[in-house]
A and B are shown apart, each in its own frame.
Chain A
């Protein structure tokens, strides 16, 4: 068993089976690097994750610890020399499993909890959790207006009116896609 500590003061700790915790690539790598130390006795502090979020993470990894590992596809970095021209530039379908649908904090007032969860999944490198969370967010904003998306994602419009007008003109062609 491995102990994980939230960033709260005082920290809240969770005890998780090693197998479950290794769904996080970040922690898995760390445990491998620290081989030889008795990690069962050493709580791992997670400076970017608060207790409610960590609780969700722990729930998710425990539920999914026996899942077959996801197939990794090498990501093409944004570099002109890379030929991403191959026919594989279509995203594979991501389906949110039933259990996860109930698990994700999807009520509107829990929106920020969802974002915190995705932040943590990103930081801890839990790709399948990140995928289903992002898929959920994408379904949510799909077909919505720019203003709606801005509000939903807690983003501020930091364009000047002139810049926005110019941008609007530049992307007008996309209407016809």
Chain B
């Protein structure tokens, strides 16, 4: 045990004497959260729109009221013809236009059915689809209220309701992703790179020629980076809850436990990489290709999994990130507890056990 403590001490000295790397490792999570939160945010507030109201009755007025009272839109003009709308698009004055048909109110009353036309500027597909969703949610709201207000006759039949993330805040989607990336970068990448560095400089040979247990050398590498990434995780959670108002509906202790388990999975992957790579470049490439890219692409963090081809959906299952992101979203947003997410935990823990036992086998084989 004394030897392990000494090796840990040595690792911490390495980390603290390499100020630039330490600064990078600690600042990276903060920078990432702020960057995603403020700039890459897919939320749009006060998008400039135009409304062409052919009907000009009390219901159409109520609908326009609804649109402008939502935070999503800022109605900048009320054109009278469709050519005017065209002109506004060309001037780049508006992002979206809504056309309310003639006889809006009477169609609603008599036929319980009407059509609102939405014209998008699809030169930016992303923004257009987000704005479309916003319009849809406003229309739904409007329908619901209209249906409540009539006591006779048939109500509208559309009943879609957004249960979680009802105001479609994208921060909820990327915070789990960033936590995942940080844990992988710090725990797996940093520990495997520094271990490979020792192989390059020959200090590893010195350690292995001593009677010290090899497992101590590897554990000693991994633990300090686990501690650092745990601190980073807490910082990310604090920023996302207090700056971006992300809900934390589940137990904070359970959330941290979840993070620790995922950290173990990431660390075990780092151990595996360290044992198979002999140079820092190897370690970096393997982590990037084998863990980092799949995490970005196949975890559902940036790109929704269920819109991917079946092959990739199946492939996503073998990477730990998907399971962790599912679990952390459930815990933070839905407030799920152990009994809801234990299958994910079991998968993550199982992966850690597998990675650790493979790397122990490899360690024994080497030298």
A and B associate: no
